[in-house]
Structure 1
Amino acid sequence: MGLLSEQQLHNLAMNVVGKDLEEMGYEFLAVNSKKSKNPQFVATKDKKLIFVVVRAVKYPDNPVIYNEELMKKVSDHGINYKAKTFYAGVGIANSLSYDLPVDSEEDYVLNYTGLIEIK
């Protein structure tokens, strides 16, 4: 199979965040798996709407650091819908050595600390 593409890494991150949202009891209203379309998840729980931007973050980048300009734009858009906006960064690294690219033939490690609210 070989090295995971940017889209495959993004899909992996989407799966991690999607499972987390489900476990928290969110219902999905819209899911967009394209990295270029934001937010990736529009979900609801207890009549409260949330927007979630998902990013796969490769080592050595820190998955909790986000693009503030992008997140402000998504947050401003969310305000129009009375939605809270969250960032979900999922760090992905090769488990043999963090310096190696992520390969479908080898194990990988995930670093996901949960949703970060954008205010």
Structure 2
Amino acid sequence: MGKALTEQELHNLAMNIVGKQLESEGFEFMGVNSKPKKNPQFVCLKEKELHFIVVRHVSYPEDPNSYDDVLMGKMKDHAEKFNAKVYYAGVGLSNAKNQELPVYLNEPYIVAYDGLIAIEQ
């Protein structure tokens, strides 16, 4: 049995998954913050517009598309000062052999990620 990934390692994995998607969609990275509680994780430019992206890794069986309304409301208020758009990126990560087990280093895992969710108010 391998070593279970730490919270920080799971967060970094989620950020890599989201980062690759952003890169492929032409987002330009202005700032990256890999601390899980320091938001947003990504500050990007696309078509001269600023985007704030909050990334969270979500463990099975939680819904990766469900987010904290209070946190995202605060992010939306913060983003308005910069005329920025806000997105939530929830990345579900689970063990490929048994979803009840943790995700282990160098072992297969399942990703449940539906892309960015725009936060509107």
TM bucket (normalised to shorter chain) is over 0.9
Give how far 1:106 is off.
Answer: 1.9
Whole-Å separation in 1 of the counterparts to 2:97 and 2:82: 44
Is 2:12 the partner of 1:24?
no
Secondary structure of 1:7's partner? helix
Secondary structure of 2:15's partner? helix
**RMSD between superposed Cα atoms in Å:** 0.8
**Where does structure 2 lack aligned partners over 5 or more consecutive residues?**
none
Q: Where does structure 1 differ by over 6 angstroms across 4 or more consecutive aligned residues?
A: none
**Where does structure 1 lack aligned partners over 5 or more consecutive residues?**
none
Equivalent position of 2:34 in the other structure:
33
Percent of aligned pairs with the same residue?
A: 53
Whole-Å separation in 2 of the counterparts to 1:118 and 1:48: 15
Secondary structure of 1:12's partner? helix
Whole-Å separation in 2 of the counterparts to 1:91 and 1:42: 22
Q: Which moved more, 1:102-111 or 1:44-53?
A: 102-111
Q: Deviations over 1:19-63 (max 9, x none)?
A: 010011000000000001000000001101100000000000010
TM-score, with structure 1 as normaliser: 0.98
Is 2:63 the partner of 1:62?
yes
Whole-Å separation in 2 of the counterparts to 1:47 and 1:32: 21
1:54-93 pair list within 5 angstroms = 54-93=55-94
TM-score, with structure 2 as normaliser: 0.96
